[in-house]
């Protein structure tokens, strides 16, 4: 009777093993695992193939790989490779989980896109970065720039005598520019599309003898093509402030589509004592073309 019971248990043991999964180093393999290997001093050694041996799979008498097959390649970028059903994919090629790539990231014909995006940054095989025209690079916050125009940048509005330009050397070697009382001088502005002009800083002197209108005038002008011009911001000095500066708030966005921009200077008195040292144009950019 005991012999029959022992034989029955031995015959039943493999069935229990198959139902529970196979355990190596453990008598209680995890229920969801077909194979559960437990060790604190050893690892799992997978088949080791060279690149030539891996690529030979599926040729001649060698069986073709199936999706899910994993091997360790020993040469030509060694590492773990898995077959996804179409091609071999190197596992853990980049350590991007820690935001650090351990080798060059090859985008191929793909692009880096934002959440839910379909177009974005692409890089050709020459290393040239490209952006779609409608997705020009944007700064995370507006970036501030300054451009300064001096006496030599101001030019007569036209060739008439009324728009004559004069440059004068002040004490210390600094130069100023002034014009007639009936004309104007101008500087053509070339600012990026979408730039926001935040302010103008006019550095000038006004020792007008009291005649009207007083002193120095400066305006930011939009010249529409076709169409009339429009003054976007302006300033006129009054009294006799002497050597000083004026901050002119603007807050206008540059649109170079059929529009040109210029600074226009006027003078209420044609004299070196009523003249301009320079103009500082402050602007911000959020999108770089």
Contact 201, 245 (CB under 8 A): yes
Distance of alpha carbon 193 from alpha carbon 209, whole angstroms: 42
Using DSSP bridges, classify how beta strands 274-288 and 185-189 pair: parallel, antiparallel or unpaired. unpaired
Who has greater pLDDT, 125 or 253? 253
- In this prediction the pTM is 0.58
Give the domain 142-288 fold. Jelly Rolls (2.60.120)
Mean pLDDT taken over the chain = 85
Distance of alpha carbon 175 from alpha carbon 151, whole angstroms: 7
pLDDT, tens digit, for every residue of 126-185?
A: 888 887 766 556 667 889 999 999 999 999 988 888 899 999 998 788 999 999 999 999
Residue closest to 216 by CA, chosen among 274, 153, 149: 274
Using DSSP bridges, classify how beta strands 22-24 and 35-37 pair: parallel, antiparallel or unpaired. parallel
Radius of gyration of the chain (CA): 39
pLDDT, tens digit, for every residue of 267-289?
A: 988 989 899 999 999 999 986 55
Which residues share a beta bridge with 219? 234, 264
Domain ranges of the chain: 2-37, 106-135, 142-288
Distance of alpha carbon 49 from alpha carbon 65, whole angstroms: 13
């Amino acid at each position: 009777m005991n012999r029959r019971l022992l034989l029955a248990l031995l015959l039943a043991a493999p069935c229990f093993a198959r139902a529970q999964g196979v355990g190596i180093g453990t008598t209680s393999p995890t229920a969801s695992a077909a194979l559960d290997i437990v060790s604190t001093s050893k690892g799992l050694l997978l088949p080791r193939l060279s690149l030539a041996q891996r690529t030979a799979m599926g040729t001649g008498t060698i069986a073709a790989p199936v999706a899910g097959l994993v091997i360790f390649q020993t040469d030509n970028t060694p590492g773990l490779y898995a077959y996804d059903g179409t091609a071999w994919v190197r596992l853990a090629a980049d350590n991007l989980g820690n935001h650090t790539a351990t080798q060059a990231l090859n985008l191929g014909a793909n692009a880096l896109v934002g959440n839910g995006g379909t177009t974005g940054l692409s890089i050709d095989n020459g290393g040239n970065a490209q952006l779609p025209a409608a997705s020009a690079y944007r700064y995370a916050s507006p970036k501030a720039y300054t451009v300064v125009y001096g006496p030599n940048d101001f030019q007569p509005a036209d060739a008439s005598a009324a728009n004559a330009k004069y440059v004068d050397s002040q004490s210390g070697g600094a130069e100023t520019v002034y014009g007639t009382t009936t004309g104007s001088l101008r500087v053509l502005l070339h600012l990026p599309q979408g730039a926001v002009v935040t302010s103008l800083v006019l550095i000038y002197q006004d020792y007008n003898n009291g005649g009207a209108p007083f002193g120095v005038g400066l305006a930011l002008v939009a010249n529409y093509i076709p169409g009339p011009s429009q003054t976007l911001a302006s300033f006129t000095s009054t009294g006799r402030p002497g050597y000083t500066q004026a901050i002119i708030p603007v807050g206008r966005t540059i649109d170079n589509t059929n529009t040109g921009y210029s600074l226009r200077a006027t003078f209420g008195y044609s004299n070196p004592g009523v003249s301009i040292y320079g103009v500082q144009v402050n602007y911000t950019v959020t999108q770089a073309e």
